[in-house]
Structure 1
Amino acid sequence: MPRTARKKSKTGIYHVILRGINRQTIFECEEDALKFIQTLGKYLKDGGYSLYAYCLMGNHIHLLMKEEKEDLGTSIKRIGASYVYWYNWKYERIGHLFQDRYKSEKVENGKYFLAVLRYIHQNPFKAGLVKELADYPWSSFNEYIGESKLIDTNFVLNMFSNDRSKAIDAFKKFHAVEGQETFLDIDEKKKWKDSDAIELIKSICHVTSCKEVQKLDKKEQSHYFKLLYQEGLSARQIARITGIGRWMVLKAINN
C-alpha cells in the first residue's frame, strides 16, 4: 500500500518524532546525546529551520520545529543521516538506526503549540526519569530558563510576556501543570500478552512468581516498575499480574 502524503502545516511548524528501529536505543551514553545535539545545531544553520523544543529519550526523539529554507523531510534526513554515520562508526556497526519514516503532526495555532512544547519537556518526568524538569539534561527546558544555545526562546517567551523575567516565571508555572491533551506519541510500546508479561516481570524482578513482587521493599518495587513500564507494560497490567494496587504502581513509576 503506498504511503499517504504528509499533511502540510499552514504555519510550517511540526511536532516530529524520530524512533530507533525495532525499539533500539539511540543514545547509549552522554557522548551520544551531546553528538545529536551538536548535529541539530549544525543543520540548524545549514537548513535554516527554527527549533522551539527538543527532548532526547532512550530510543526516541521529540522535536518541535519550523521548516524554513528547506522542507521538513530534507532537514530530518540530513540530521538523521549525519548522526547515524557517526553512531555506526563509533560502535562499529552497519545498517539503519532510525525507523525509515519519521512521524510528524502539524501545529497550526498558539494554544496547541504551547501544549506540545510542554508535552515534549514533560516526557522525562512522565517516564519517571526525573522529579524536576530542570534536572533532565537532554531537553530544551533549561534553555528557556537559562542560557539559550539552539532554541529560539524569544518566540516562545514572548507568548507569555514581553518582560523576560515575567515570561520565564510564567513559562515555569505553565510547565508545572500536567497537560491533559492528546498528542502524537511513539506508539511503539509492545502490546504484551499476559503470558509474556509474566515472564518479563519474573526476569526483571528476579522472582520465581509474580506475587513475590509484593514482598519486595518499596524502593526495589519502584525501580522494577519503572523498568517494566519502559519495556511497555502498562501500570494496569503490572498491577493485575502482581496483585499490587494500580495507584501504588503509578506512584512508584512517577516517584
Structure 2
Amino acid sequence: MPHSARLRAGRFSEPQHIYLLTATTENRETLFSNFTIGRLVVAELKAAQQDGLAESLAWVVMPDHLHWLIALQQGSLSELMRRIKGRSAKRINALASRQGKLWQDGFHDRALRREEDVLPAARYIVANPLRAGLVNRVGDYPLWDSVWL
C-alpha cells in the first residue's frame, strides 16, 4: 500500500475535536526558509479560520513542513488540508515563479482525545524550531503562533 494511502486508512474527522496535523513539502524542499513564502502558508491558515473551517490553536511553519493544532469546525480533515495545500501551492508557485508539486501527497493527523494532551502538543509545536537548532529562543522564530501566548 502506498504511503499516502496508509496515511488515509482509518482517518476520521469530527467537528469540535482537536487534531494535530502535519504536512511536508515535496522532497523536503526547504521553501519556507524564505519568510515571504512561509507567510503565504500562514495566510492560508488564517483564511481557513476566518472561513469557519478550523480554529487554530497553535502552528509552526518549518523550512520543509507544517505543524498545525486545530479544533475542526466543519468539513473533513482531508478537505481542510486539500484547501490549505492547494491554495498555498498556487500562491507560492506564482510568487516564486515555480511549477510543479509543492507538498507531498497526504498528511499526518493525530486526534487528541484528552484535554490534558492539548497544551503539551502546542508546546511541542512552538518549540520545533528550537529543537531543530534554527533559533536559540522560541520567540526568535518568525513563523509560529499559539492561542496560549
The 1-side partners of 2:87 and 2:15 are apart by 28
**Corresponding residue number in structure 1 for 2:133:** 128
**Corresponding residue number in structure 2 for 1:192:** none
**Corresponding residue number in structure 2 for 1:67:** 72
Look up the SS of the partner of 1:129 in the other structure: coil
Q: Residues 109 and 11 from structure 1, CA distance in 2 versus in 1: closer, same or farther, beyond 3 angstroms?
A: farther
The 2-side partners of 1:57 and 1:49 are apart by 20
**Corresponding residue number in structure 1 for 2:92:** 87
TM-score, normalised to structure 2, is: 0.87
**Corresponding residue number in structure 2 for 1:12:** 17
**Corresponding residue number in structure 2 for 1:106:** 111
Structure 1 gap ranges (5+): 146-255
Structure showing greater relative contact order (alpha-carbon pairs closer than 8 Å, 6 or more residues apart): 2
Match for 2:65: what amino acid?
Answer: H
Structure 2 gap ranges (5+): none
1:96 to 101, 109, 113: 101
The 1-side partners of 2:15 and 2:56 are apart by 17
Identity %: 27
The 1-side partners of 2:71 and 2:91 are apart by 25
Q: Tell me which protein shows more strand as a share of its residues.
A: 2
Provide the aligned C-alpha RMSD in A: 1.9
Q: Residues 136 and 28 from structure 1, CA distance in 2 versus in 1: closer, same or farther, beyond 3 angstroms?
A: closer
1:31 to 14, 32, 36: 36
Report the CA distance between 1:7 and its aligned residue: 4.1
Number of corresponding residues: 144
Aligned positions of 1:1-255 closer than 5 A? 1=1, 3=6, 4-8=9-13, 12-141=17-146, 144-145=148-149
* Cα-to-partner distance string for 1:129-164 (whole Å, 9 max, x where unaligned): 1222112111115x643xxxxxxxxxxxxxxxxxxx
TM-score, normalised to structure 1, is: 0.52
Q: Tell me which protein shows more helix as a share of its residues.
A: 1
Kindly indicate whether the alpha-carbon contact (under 8 Å) linking 1:26 and 1:60 is maintained by their aligned counterparts in 2. Answer: no
The 2-side partners of 1:41 and 1:52 are apart by 11
Report the CA distance between 1:11 and its aligned residue: 5.3
The 2-side partners of 1:10 and 1:112 are apart by 18
Kindly indicate whether the alpha-carbon contact (under 8 Å) linking 1:39 and 1:82 is maintained by their aligned counterparts in 2. Answer: yes
The 2-side partners of 1:11 and 1:86 are apart by 29
The 2-side partners of 1:51 and 1:60 are apart by 17
Look up the SS of the partner of 1:140 in the other structure: strand
Runs of 4+ with deviation above 6 angstroms: none
Kindly indicate whether the alpha-carbon contact (under 8 Å) linking 2:21 and 2:67 is maintained by their aligned counterparts in 1. Answer: yes
